A and B are shown apart, each in its own frame.
Chain A
């Protein structure tokens, strides 16, 4: 047929359809295995539906079959980037449930290592976030300092990522003078390293274009979505559990809570960068004020493992040792408890129901990542596809924790 004889296209009958795009589960920028179902109109995201659960291991259910001590390594694997804070949150919750008081030295040590963990987590975040957006150098620089922290963890407790260091009633082993010295040395030069990262991206015009005014969420919306941590503070809400409900040694150290005003990707980035400096301050103070004393409570023989000397010399301790390991804490109180701590990603809550046995009847983890992913549609819809990446980076999720 001759082209001239073809009927003219009637513009009114032409239809355009939205394109459905699967982002993930193996997309490198999803920081794990998460699938986003994006409905696109050209470059604009019309609808965004997150699908989670690819990393589900049934941690909550597993814990129901384990004694409180035995379930501790499970919490390492929630947020494997900062397992210290998750161990601490778990231990703090169990301590609250069982009424165990932690010695002051252990509190300071815990605070110190948790802040180190926060730094490591934020460094990984800035590294990958910048990498996603296209700034590769930051990635390499940040990993240098993160490596130092992981090495210190290795010297402290024998593992780099899954530390299992805090214990119900204290910490596993005491910090050595060597450890303290090298960490103190680190706090001296670390702020200049943060300046270095900022010099690379902070006022960078491309970084501005990719982050400012992107993924805006107002304070009210952020609260309604249940955002916590830096994602909430970036919108200007002054909410930090370390300040409002201090645990461990946070009430005896001085630090500022950084907040943003715009609630965009850039402000969330600024908040976390400032948190790096504040964490550094906390570590310094913890080292300077580190008191002497026990690192494991001595008042709770029915909850904590007795020392080996006692186990081998006293009959009662031997029985406690066997009982605590096989049956869990003896004479557990009945009841329920919800305890929240400030993990690097946001508010990490542990909810326990105890029926008086040595195991939790129910353990529930309020994982910040899970809640943050729920806010992704709000952040992404109406934006461009390229900004989805910045948004995922800016809420700082880890899927191990989200899917549990």
Chain B
């Protein structure tokens, strides 16, 4: 470590005490600094505005934005990829995921219900990271305010619909790289399990 860079000499930034002077008195009377500040404001009158008129002018969220959740579909069967391992529910800090599974006649584990209470979610995307199959993702969709609680209580069907509605191939790739497989750039997915979509 480069210890020599550390200088413990502080930098004094306070202004010296003001003495009474004729100049200061003039400044007090004519408020010259305020006029200089006003000049700045005036000059920015001719600059392009930076504000957006929100409901009319929408701002698209960046790729990889942590918005509404979606459950991924298997490319081959079109069913949800989720296998009901429960890791997403285990890591969720706000405990908003509930998974109900049962065993069918072939002794397969079937995910019966997958419920996600968006109103409790803190959008940390830990569920996405924890999922070993890349079965739950987040989308760029962020405008889903509603008057009813039911609309924000996500069931498996709604989450699958979100996948169809809000997830594009391009986005899926970004999410896949960024959150799901954050530390293996060269990793392209595992047969049938880990690919989000048919990414060429």
Contacts and interface: CB of A to CB of B under 8 A. Distances in A.
Given A66-B93, A296-B183, A274 B13 contact: yes
B119 interface: no
B64 A259 contact: no
Given A325-B91, A325-B130, A158 B37 contact: no
B180 interface: yes
Given A155-B64, A325-B130, A261 B14 contact: yes
A70 B132 contact: no
Interface stretch (A46-54, A250-258, A340-348, A366-374): A250-258
A173 B128 CA distance: 13
B124 A199 contact: no
A140 to B, nearest CB: 9
Interface string B82-122: 00000100111100000000000000000000000000001
Interface in A271-312: 271, 273-274, 294-296, 305, 307-309, 311-312
A259 B13 contact: yes
Contacts of A166: none
B125 A158 contact: yes
Interface stretch (B26-34, B71-79, B148-156, B162-170): B26-34
B13 A238 contact: no
Interface in A293-342: 294-296, 305, 307-309, 311-313, 318, 321-322, 325-326
A210 interface: no
A72 B27 CA distance: 52
Interface in B1-51: 1-3, 5-15, 27-28, 31, 33-34, 36-37, 40-41, 44, 50
Q: Is the interface of B mostly helix, strand, loop or mixed?
A: loop
Contact of B40 (A144, A174, A196, A251): A196
Interface in A151-180: 151, 154-155, 157-159, 162, 164, 172-174
Given A261-B14, A305-B130, A73 B124 contact: yes
B13 A270 contact: yes
A137 interface: yes
B178 interface: yes
B33 A162 contact: no
Interface residues of B, number: 59
A144 B50 contact: yes
B144 interface: no
Contacts of B10: 233, 238, 256-259
A77 B93 CA distance: 12
Interface string A56-83: 0000000000110111111011000000
Given A73-B122, A205-B33, A259 B12 contact: yes
Interface in B133-188: 134, 138, 177-185, 187
Contacts of B61: 154
Closest 7 CB pairs of A and B: A158-B66, A256-B11, A260-B14, A238-B10, A73-B124, A308-B181, A203-B33
Given A137-B37, A164-B126, A313-B190, 10 more contacts: A74-B93, A76-B124, A158-B62, A199-B36, A199-B37, A233-B10, A294-B183, A308-B187, A309-B184, A318-B132
Interface of A: 66-67, 69-74, 76-77, 137, 141, 144, 147, 151, 154-155, 157-159, 162, 164, 172-174, 196, 199-206, 233-234, 238, 243, 246, 251-254, 256-262, 266-267, 270-271, 273-274, 294-296, 305, 307-309, 311-313, 318, 321-322, 325-326
22 contacts: A66-B93, A72-B124, A76-B122, A76-B124, A158-B125, A162-B122, A173-B177, A199-B36, A200-B41, A243-B8, A251-B3, A256-B11, A260-B12, A267-B14, A270-B14, A273-B13, A296-B183, A305-B130, A307-B187, A312-B132, A321-B87, A322-B87
